[in-house]
Structure 1
């Protein structure tokens, strides 16, 4: 892959917003602040770009990012660009999910977005290059790119070397799954500790097609990352090649005025939906893509795109945790670029849409290697024609809900049964242990949505308890919270919207109300007369299940500002902005 053309000299740059009049207070103050940092008078005239670093010591995901920063600084300076490193918050689902029962994790996405706005917009920098790693960093970087609309390149920073790839018994996702069973069933503690000690062999994100690698692929599909960027082994030569090409791509974008809203188009979002469906990606990509679209000012219902495109997009790859193959296999078979090549007939008509490097999508597809027929299959020989991600709507989920399906999918595809309602994960687990959940029930866990949580409660523990009790596939499961993609057996539906706390029907149902789930039709209904349902008192979380308030701070602000899932769970957009118009339209869309 050839790199975009380089600047001839710094004098060839178009006007940059960071270049204040040399006799101004701002210019002189900046000169004073930056002189001790080694910035020369000549460099003060260069384009000034943020290296957005999410490095911290909390998880292996971020352990290599500081090293990438050093290389990027050298590359950018050699191209006549002044790099300025900034840092943001960055959660790890496995580490920062302890406090407040995991409620900080999703809200951190929007905190990162706002961190970037404060630093890049506040300093009037000319562009940014974002080091994307763990789950919430990539969507946050794409959201910030859409909001600020300054030349931006996303660098997917790679996945970790796992125990499974090194002839071991587990990766981090297997540790999570087995540890969940272990906490319920008990077992050999020493064996569990050995599994944990050998699961991660190097830096990078979880080694599977969970949210992090799914969002890395989305960055490439949208055209905001260089071709061949995802998935990629952290610290490998292909990763370093991607880093260097990304620096050149940012220079090209700066010189030619390529901005995120030129790249993140409706067609690009639709193509990302198609790719995610074709690989059985994380269900979190739905709300993240919707948020990216909102921040980019696009009026597109991503939930409906998943719903309708899921019926025509076959499954071309079967990657852990959804299938037998490793993410290493996906990378070696051509990764995102090859998936795009095989999906070409199903992509948006605008395959001439531009990417951040100046290449068109069609040019990238033309340079990609063909599918090997085993790890990545063609459209004529897919793994499955059943959607691995199913969006459901109906009287219990007017604006959406989602089900993650196993690969291959043995069914069942429908389930109808009486509601058994719980208001916390712990209450549900206790009921399972005591035998109060019966075959044929639909377990309903509510009050854990964006506002009810706040921040969406993580409910996988109850699903694992059902599996441990032998009830997997024997009961239905419905929640306005979220659950892991590892939990995909039986008929389970999450992220029901509107949620209970905002007046959704899930807050009005009672024990015994019949709930009907149809994954083939994409419907989720409560079989109660609408007039009877609407006459019931509004939902109130039982006092004993109101979560500990914790410190008065960010979660309180989040609860007051977060928009519905139909709007990507973004925070309250600026009045009169394109984002606000999109949110208003999405939040009011009827079921289709």
Structure 2
């Protein structure tokens, strides 16, 4: 190895910074000579609140041992650990997306404040994965992501059951189509081990994204939590990060436009979570590489075949996908459509990582010329109701109705929409409009749009109505004709705010449009009369988030930074510059 480069964590022996840190570390049993070694943050979101995170301390132990063996010094740091099914209970779910950005800032404070040399991020539930990737892109110190696995699901009355079924049937029970006893029974056996949701929800999608971006070791996603393979991959990551520090291989060397093309192709080819779109855009914005992720989904969607039908869009289990080759097998099949020269954490390229890979089961991960679906599983729509775009996930089963026109039935909360469904107050043929659930109005996209989708299903109206919302959907949602993340959102005066009950709305999947069939003069009159709704949450973290979050816009150029939108109350604005670093929601949602 060549002469080791100077580490940013090292200070002159006997200087103030060297001496006071040495005093701290001596008290912790860290030898003085370790002051000269690479200092690696092991980013751990361990928590006893949710099964997603309950095993991470075991993973951290293996990673730290591997770092020490490779000649580094590990320092475990902790972040927030949001789980939709636990911490999503408060504030109408508003803590969830806001917590993602809190994770990014947790990492910045610890790693940048201490001037550590690298990071190993233990990826788990939905929001921690993008939060960690955003921090890696922002701080740009050598980083490797370690997917920490999916949970084992169970059986109930002889049928497969996982957390998706519990979520769905709990809403069905509210509509009277499932018994409470069955929901209780499902909840007792749906999760048998720690780890993330076993379906292809946001967590497993983002684990695949980590590898497709080149930020995780090849073959590490997805993986069963607590399996021998998971621990082997974790150990390999701990060893690899030390060499990455010496090589000065940083995230922005990896997070190229080609890497994002590869990740978008991977998500499209498995019909992954819609939430991956905004998370990838957030990472691209932090990397300052000018990539327009929404534009990539819009242009690549019709050109990318669906190669694997995993639950919830298909019938294959995540275990089958892992056994068939997982992300590495998927990328091997996609190779003609990928950027093969994109760099990865191995130090090599995508092509070098994939050239000897073979798919274990070509029925689970198909070739490009034998796709499982003739149409894209994720579609970006535009139209006069969504001039900045909206997302839908039509699935892989050919839909009988691809153009839906009907009268709008409008709701400002998910509770009101569910109540109307319970009372059978929504007629077949209607277009349900649930608004006020976007990043600014929710805030943080809280508001329970997914609950409404599952309530529609429980009411037996999945094929009889369509739904529009400016909120986001759980990664496990793939039911009915639902258009989500309509932008600009209603809370900012977007067109969705101007829809009235009875207005004709059309969703056309083939034309990729969503339109309000109302005279422009009428819309202009409504716009002049519109008043911004009163904001929610006037204290704590959600107040900080609400004051600083901004709307999603086109991705900035590689050298541009988002503009400083004025908060609702300028007298309570954060200090200059805080909107850029303390509140990354501003940065990603303006993309």
TM-score normalized by the length of structure 1: 0.91
Aligned equivalents of 1:467, 1:488: Cα separation in 2: 11
Aligned equivalents of 1:432, 1:541: Cα separation in 2: 27
What residue number does 1:430 align with? 419
Shift of 1:189: 3.2
What residue number does 2:490 align with? 500
Aligned equivalents of 2:130, 2:34: Cα separation in 1: 31
What residue number does 1:563 align with? 550
The DSSP-based 3-state class of the residue aligned with 1:533 is helix
Change (3 A) 1:324 1:170: same
Unaligned 5+ runs, structure 1: 1-7
Aligned equivalents of 1:364, 1:164: Cα separation in 2: 37
Deviates more, 1:569-578 or 1:151-160: 569-578
- For residues 485-542 of structure 1, the C-alpha deviation after alignment (integer angstroms, 9 at most, x for no partner) is 4443332101111001112111122222221111112111112233431332354477
Is it true that 1:199 corresponds to 2:186 in the alignment? no
Is it true that 1:18 corresponds to 2:9 in the alignment? yes
Aligned equivalents of 2:507, 2:9: Cα separation in 1: 55
Aligned equivalents of 2:588, 2:62: Cα separation in 1: 44
Q: Would the aligned equivalents of 2:64 and 2:238 in 1 still touch at CA under 8 Å?
A: no
Is it true that 1:479 corresponds to 2:469 in the alignment? yes
Change (3 A) 1:450 1:581: closer
Aligned equivalents of 1:246, 1:98: Cα separation in 2: 34
The DSSP-based 3-state class of the residue aligned with 2:87 is coil
Aligned equivalents of 2:265, 2:276: Cα separation in 1: 12
The DSSP-based 3-state class of the residue aligned with 2:320 is helix
Is it true that 1:527 corresponds to 2:529 in the alignment? no
Change (3 A) 1:263 1:503: same
Change (3 A) 1:92 1:555: same
Shift of 1:484: 2.8
Aligned equivalents of 1:88, 1:485: Cα separation in 2: 22
Aligned equivalents of 1:282, 1:30: Cα separation in 2: 43
Shift of 1:571: 9.8
Q: Would the aligned equivalents of 2:155 and 2:189 in 1 still touch at CA under 8 Å?
A: no
Change (3 A) 1:379 1:395: same
RMSD between aligned residues: 2.7
What residue number does 2:322 align with? 331
Aligned equivalents of 2:471, 2:153: Cα separation in 1: 29
Is it true that 1:514 corresponds to 2:504 in the alignment? yes
Shift of 1:168: 5.7
Shift of 1:555: 0.8
What residue number does 2:540 align with? 553
The DSSP-based 3-state class of the residue aligned with 1:426 is helix
The DSSP-based 3-state class of the residue aligned with 1:245 is helix
Change (3 A) 1:203 1:578: closer
TM-score normalized by the length of structure 2: 0.92
What residue number does 2:573 align with? none
Residues 440-459 of structure 1: pairs in structure 2 closer than 5 A:
440-456=429-445, 457-459=447-449
Is it true that 1:414 corresponds to 2:406 in the alignment? no
Aligned equivalents of 1:83, 1:121: Cα separation in 2: 15
Change (3 A) 1:247 1:24: same
Q: Would the aligned equivalents of 2:177 and 2:459 in 1 still touch at CA under 8 Å?
A: no
What residue number does 1:32 align with? 23
Aligned equivalents of 1:465, 1:161: Cα separation in 2: 26
Change (3 A) 1:34 1:486: closer
Change (3 A) 1:30 1:562: same
Structure 1 runs of 4+ aligned residues shifted over 6 Å read: 567-573, 575-586
What residue number does 2:245 align with? 254
Identify the match of residue 304 of structure 1 among 295, 319, 339.
Answer: 295
Aligned equivalents of 2:13, 2:89: Cα separation in 1: 50
Q: Would the aligned equivalents of 1:159 and 1:231 in 2 still touch at CA under 8 Å?
A: yes
What residue number does 1:390 align with? 379
What residue number does 2:116 align with? 125
Change (3 A) 1:151 1:399: same
Residues 142-541 of structure 1: pairs in structure 2 closer than 5 A:
142-163=133-154, 169-185=160-176, 187-348=178-339, 351-370=340-359, 372-456=361-445, 457-536=447-526, 537=528, 539-540=530-531
Aligned equivalents of 1:162, 1:340: Cα separation in 2: 26
